[in-house]
Amino acid sequence: MKRIAVYPGSFDPTTFGHLDIISRSSKIFDKLIIAVITNPNKKPYFSIDERVKILKSSVKEKNVEIESFHGLLVDFMKKKNANVIIRGLRAISDFEYEFQMALTNRKLYPEIETVFLTPAEQWTYLSSTLVKEIARLGGNVKCFVPEIVVKIFKNKR
């Protein structure tokens, strides 16, 4: 049986922290699906098509697929025959929300397991929100995100 994992997120935008989690997850699982979500609680800076494009141009691992979806994650997981959710934890403050989500997903779909990965030390402080704020204020985000993100930020100004 293939070990298929899903790494869901808004990826608005993709950061080097995300890419670190993707790279490391791809070595653990036979197949990794990056599920770009539309979060109704957030107003994205990048369109869903832009976010998928950024990931497709930034992810080099051969066993990784990238697609967008909306709806319940557990329904997406069932459709993809996946039973592992990958979630990144940067700080202890992330844990409470992620723990709640993991338990809820397991209640909705008992076959699901959630695996928490911490990014490399150099990215533990980094968030998409922080990157967007720096970019909005005219700062250089090149050290935080792939080049395609830098270009799209410049085009949106």
Q: Which residues are catalytic?
A: 18, 42, 90, 128
Could you tell me how many helices (H) and strands (E) the chain has, helices first? 6, 5
CA angle 123, 125, 129 (to 5 degrees): 105
* Tokens of residue 69, six digits: 């979806």
Instruction: Please state, in angstroms and rounded to a whole number, the distance separating the CA atoms of residues 80 and 78.
Output: 5
